Structure 1
Amino acid sequence: MLYSILPDKVFPTEERNEKCIGKSSHLSEEVLEETHNSNVSSENVSEFDSMADTETLNYDYGAMNGIIESLDVPLTSGSLGKQTTVGKLSFICIELSLFANVFLTGFDSTVTASIYTTIGDEFNAVSTASWITTSYLITSTAFQPLYGSFSDVLGRRICLISATFLFILGCLGCGLATHIYALDIMRAISGIGGGGLVTLATIINSDIIAPEKRGNWQAFQNLLLGFGGICGACTGGLITAVFGWRWCFLVQIPIGALSIVIGYYYVIDPENYIESSMTLSKIDLKGSITLVISLSLQLLYLTIGGNEIGWFDNTALLLILISVFMLILFISTEIATNALPILPPELLQNSFSMIILSIGVLVGFASYAYLFLLPVLFQIVLGDSISMAGLRLAFPSIFTPIGGLITGYFMNKSPDTLFALVCFGCICMFIGNYLSLLIHKNLNPWLLALYLIPANIGQGMIFPSSLFCFIYFFDKEKQAIATSTAYLFRSIGSVWGVACSASIVKHYLKIYAVRKLKEIPGMDEEKIMSVLKSVSQDISKIGFLDPIVSEIINFAYASSIRKALEFSCFCCGLCLILCVIKVIFKVNGPIRKMKSMD
């Protein structure tokens, strides 16, 4: 079987392989001409021809076995004069390296959601415990768009290794941290690497897998992402109870180290990436710096505004003003740069792109707000321990990869289904977020699990379908940057989801608690603020309060969490409105681009 990647087209398909058979003798002559320069023996060429004649029609990207069985021959990258042998073992190892990182991303996202209040309790900093997640999201979001451009300039392998190394370095620092601020800093370092784990996996697979067959592989990637999330949700509380929360970070290091070793030996760069002599001139350093500063300051404002400082405090306003200035500078840089731009303006100059990217922001907001609010809701309303709250998310989490598998199946059937999958995913997420508002103390556990399924299916469907809707709208040479751009907008929504939902909870908690506590004799404003500060630092202290005060605080907490979930529902509703706008105004989708790549 001949597997070829040319600069602008990805092969194989059955049609192209049939053409390869017809040209096998001509191909053999070209390969023979190259033997003087590439040390290819005539016996290898004969074996190569034999495989081309006998195995091409057996190739099938749709199943793992088909791919493995067909990768016993050279993979030609770029031109026949520069060959890299990729056999069965090599292909398996490449995917093992990529999918190990995907698993770590899923695991890390849910394990921190299930233990951050426990960490906050240990450091007496529950009110700032959300920074364990937020610091990671800020840096991963800020650096995520750089990986698409940098991997085009520096090569896929060095970017993959660097991202994984920074991620596990941060995990090591988290496991050894002795102060909440040190932990937050190391989480930020993890985020710099974590921003590239899934992005680079998608980019590298886009290099080596035909567009019409990418759905199955993206579904498998989503399956591992969801499986990692299940493992994190199920084991986070258990690991914390048995070994301590530090091991939730340390356990990720061996997997990341394995990915680095495998990636170093097996991950290859596409033939058309920039030569080393041109590297410095093609790296958009000014654009990279201005974008990172702009995003970091904006996300910092969203995180501390309304929490540590007021929204219109002088410090907060200074942050947002500098952020806007750096964003304007970034835009002007991208328009004028001669380097490879981080975010090419043409990616944002059409209605369809703006609709899809807006949906990405909104679903990122809703999914992360949902993920981080539910464990707290379970603890407050149902009286769960932190481990039990995490376990309640385990069964519904199985349906996230199922949603991804559904998406992969229909993507392979027809690219025409892509936007329909986006719409259906939005509907499922809206229903799931609405059902979360109906959770109460006496709810049957099985019914509760069923309530959580639609949001997980919707998330599993909308993430890959919206990603490929955006990627397939552009030509192949822009798809690496398009991938990082799509992930960037989704990550911005994720940070907004965590930061804004935390602000909403804190705002309404104060309103509801103060209103009710004032009615209790002897509870003046000073005592009320003392109680709120105490429970904000450690949720478990609610159980040690006076029964009447404890009941009021529980009610206030539950009501404020539901307010945040209502806003999450609103975001899902906006997604549906955008879908309707696309359909009514017949905004062109990616199908034309998809077909042109076949």
Structure 2
Amino acid sequence: MLQATERDPLIQSSSSWTHTHDGLFTDEPEKLGPRDISKPTRYGILAGIWAATFLSSLNTTLVATLLPGISSDFQKSHQASWLGTAYLLATCTFTPLYGRLCNVMGRRGANQTAVFFAALGTAACGFSTSMETLIAARFLGGIGGGGIMTTATIITSDMYSLRSRGLTQGVAAVFNSAGMGLGGPLGGWIADRYGWRWAFLIQLPVFLISFALTSINLHYVTPGKGKSTKDVLKRIDYGGSFTLLGAVLSFLIFLSTRFSEEYPWSHISVYLPFTASIIFFIAFVIVELYLAPEPVLAPFLLKRKIPIFVGISNFLVATCNFTIMYNFPTWFQTVLLTSASEAGAHLIPNGISISLGSLFAGWVMHRTGRYKMLNLIFGLFPFVATILISLMREDSPPAQLWLSILPLGFGNAVVLQTMLIALLAHLPHSAMAVGTGFSQLFRGIGQVGGVAISAALFQSMLNKELHKRIPGENAEEIIRKIRHSATLVANLPPELQRPARDSYAISLRAVFIMAAVSTFLAYLARLPIPDKSLDSARPRSLSVEGIGPEPAPQPINPLEETQDDDEDEEEVEEVAVSEEEEESVLPTRPAIPVRRPRRMSTYESSDGILDLESGGSARPKSHFGSLSK
């Protein structure tokens, strides 16, 4: 970088020199913003983040059909359920951090950190030598899995306008839904032919491709100044992450010991984790409200109506989704006595319908610029699907058995797409990363809740129904074996098989009804969310307390970026220095170029780092945050 002198030409060649905002000249080309990059670069970024998205979703349902092989290897079937909950627990706990990391590490740094942890955890799963190490490896993979989803959403939001974003997120959801839909059947197919370890190891080359694509292409910049490593470490919400992990983990242990193991309330294994979950939750709230410099759960969003309703909806929708996905194949294994591979195949229609629903929602929002009517109509589809699923019988026609799940995937895909767009439409651009992490946190808790709460309800009902139907001296031992191994039902003698199948059918029907209640409550929670044209201007900033009407427009500082690139051209006209004025100034001050306002889509910082003091903070101190520097 060179200081301009009196020997430099008065007018620099734009092809070889650019000026910086400190009055310096440099021959280094200025990096482009996310909407200035070329199409090949953009598609390279999308290919990288979507490949990782597919694997992240695949791993959420992969273990459902691997459990028999894993259990037979390690002889610890009573711990097998933790293979699913460990991954989802890590996803729930660490996902919100990636909204922060996108701001302080940059988009590429945050995404590649997530991909690294996901790949490391997946490799560790393939080489695990015990159930305990496998559960730990699944937790490690979940640390990255949730971050992949959040960073992919934020990167896509950077590169596309709000209206185009709906269609792009719809395409992204195809990879998400394909992973979730194929996880069960693909895992079972690989396990049957090559062993369960290869279901994990075969993913590693795809993780490597994703990392390489983002390394090559993801170099755009976003507003603000980069932070040092010390600043990054100071801003991470260690206290919030630890207390959230403690609260959710303690509650999961309580559900397992009280309802799966049937320990009484007076047992230390029941009341101790239950008490710990309450203490950790209270500590989490205190840390987020008063202590954390950059809380994972932004307090100002808790004071705003729309983020709260979106969060509640995401929680209940995720609860419904994972309740069905983790229990639907079990119905076919225990009631119809199908194989694990065939049971997993019944999830494929759900994956297809999720893809179609995501594309449909994105296309409609792109064409109409609206999202409210989509929610009102298609938001009821999941409720219809869960009722149809709860009515399944052994003699139900194949069409009902295969197609009942279709409205579930389609409707929930529409809901999740429109809720993300609704949230972003009501937040300023500076709060995009914070808002996305906020939304993903509620969704992650719902995923864990869907698996854990439904498992507790299922085990409690199953224990009750089995005791009704199986008497005798050895009843307790028989009931324990039936409860802990779904594959055992098909091998029971006829006098035990019939009671076991009936007990599973009644217990799973209760779980499906719980999913129906959950999705209906989610529909009610979305009703107060207003419609908004996606072509209208987004809020420039948040109010002082995060509530109430937006503040009146303030004078625009020509040296600062606007909140949304959709308004770039209009605002450039308001603040730009005219060519005539610039020419009249340059001859008199040749050594220091005029500090001309930047194009609104050309950014200051490097590698996607957003200055947290310039409106990106989770604790905005003032509604002038975006103009504070």
* Alignment TM-score, normalising by the size of structure 1: 0.81
Tell me the distance in 2 between the aligned counterparts of 1:544 and 1:125: 20
| Corresponding letter in the other structure for 2:25 | N
8 Å CA contact 1:127–1:536 kept in 2: the answer is no
Larger radius of gyration: 2
Per-residue deviation at 1:144?
0.8
* Structure 1 position 130 matched with structure 2 position 72: no
| Aligned: 1:155 with 2:106 | yes
Counterpart residue type for residue 467 of structure 2: V
Structure 1 residues 339 and 442: alpha-carbon distance in aligned structure 2, compared to 1, 3 A threshold: same
Deviates more, 1:170-179 or 1:290-299: 290-299
Residue type of the alignment partner of 2:391: L
What is the SS of the residue equivalent to 2:32? strand
Q: Which residue of 2 aligns with 1:541?
A: 488
In structure 2, the residue matched to 1:340 is 294
| Structure 2 CA distance for aligned equivalents of residues 86 and 588 of structure 1 | 34
Residue by residue over 1:27-47, the C-alpha shift from the partner in whole angstroms, topping out at 9 and shown as x without a partner, is: 996985539834268xxxxxx
Q: Verify the 8 A CA contact 1:34 1:40 in the aligned structure 2.
A: no
Partner of 1:16: none
Once the two structures are TM-superposed, the CA of residue 339 in structure 1 deviates from its matched residue by 2.7
Q: 1:34 aligns with which of 14, 19, 43?
A: 19
Q: Which residue of 2 aligns with 1:114?
A: 65
Q: Displacement, 1:318?
A: 2.9
Change (3 A) 1:103 1:311: farther
CA-CA distance at 1:462 after TM superposition: 1.4
Q: Relative to 1, partners in 2 of residues 1:330 and 1:508: Cα closer, same or farther, differing over 3 Å?
A: closer
Q: Indicate the RMSD between aligned Cα atoms, in angstroms.
A: 2.7
**Cα gap change, 1:439 to 1:221, in 2 (>3 Å):** same
Helix, strand or coil at the partner of 2:144 = helix
Structure richer in helix, relative to its length: 1
Greater RCO (CA < 8 Å, at least 6 residues apart): 2
Q: Return 443-452 or 248-257, whichever deviates more.
A: 443-452
1:324/1:414 CA distance change after superposition, 3 Å: farther
Q: Is the 8 A contact 1:138 1:299 kept in 2?
A: no
Q: 1:231 aligns with which of 179, 182, 200?
A: 182
Contact persistence 2:307–2:439 (CA under 8 A): no
| Change beyond 3 A, Cα 1:235–1:143 | same
Q: What does residue 343 of structure 2 align with?
A: 389
Describe the SS at the equivalent of 2:427: coil
Is 2:503 the counterpart of 1:552? no
- Is 1:377 aligned to residue 331 of structure 2? yes
User: What is the distance in 2 between the residues matched to 1:330 and 1:447?
Assistant: 44
Give the counterpart letter for 2:71 in structure 1: G
Match of 1:483, SS state, is: helix
- Matched letter for residue 287 of structure 2: T
Give 1:54's aligned residue: none
Post-superposition offset of 1:481: 1.4
What is the TM-score normalised by the length of structure 2?
Answer: 0.77
Structure 1 residue 273: Cα displacement: 5.5
1:184 is displaced (CA, Å) by: 1.0
> Counterparts of 2:412 and 2:69 in 1: how far apart (Å)?
27
Would you say the 8 A contact 1:119–1:245 is kept in 2? yes
Alpha-carbon deviation of 1:361? 0.8
Aligned counterpart in structure 1 of residue 364 of structure 2, from 407, 410, 414:
410
Which one-letter code corresponds to 1:76 in the other structure? Answer: L
Q: 1:190, 1:264 → 2: CA distance? A: 21
Q: How does 1:130-279 map to 2 (within 5 A)?
A: 130-268=81-219, 269-272=221-224, 274-276=226-228, 278-279=231-232
- TM-aligned CA deviation for residue 371 of structure 1: 0.5
Q: Structure 1 residues 296 and 515, CA, compared in 2 at 3 Å: closer, same or farther?
A: closer
Stretch deviating more after TM superposition (85-94 or 177-186): 85-94
Contact 1:396 1:449 in 2 (8 A): no
Q: Is the 8 A contact 1:153 1:283 kept in 2?
A: no
- C-alpha separation in 2, matches of 1:30 and 1:308: 72
SS in 1 for 2:96: helix
Tell me, what secondary structure is at the counterpart of 1:429?
helix
Q: Match for residue 574 of structure 1? A: 521
Is 2:17–2:25's contact at 8 Å kept on the other side of the alignment?
A: no
When residues 477 and 310 of structure 1 are mapped into structure 2, their CA distance, relative to the original with a 3 A threshold, is farther
1:502 paired residue number:
455
Unaligned runs of 5+ in 2: 1-10, 539-563, 567-629
In the TM superposition, what whole-angstrom CA distance separates every residue of 1:460-488 from its partner, at most 9, and x where no partner exists? 21121122222322111111111111111
| Structure 2: distance between partners of 1:248 and 1:140 | 20
Instruction: Number of aligned residue pairs: give it.
Output: 524
Change (3 A) 1:517 1:179: same
The one of 251, 268, 271 aligned to 1:314: 268
Distance in 1 (alpha carbons) for counterparts of 2:18 and 2:215 = 31
CA distance in structure 2 between the partners assigned to 1:306 and 1:533 by the alignment: 13
Structure 1 alignment gaps of length 5 or more: 1-25, 42-73, 79-83
The C-alpha deviation readout for 1:242-287, integer Å capped at 9, x for no partner, is 1111111111111112212222332235342542263344333333
Q: Which residue of 1 aligns with 2:476?
A: 529
Give the direction of change, closer, same or farther, for the CA distance of 1:97–1:553 in structure 2 (3 Å limit).
Answer: same
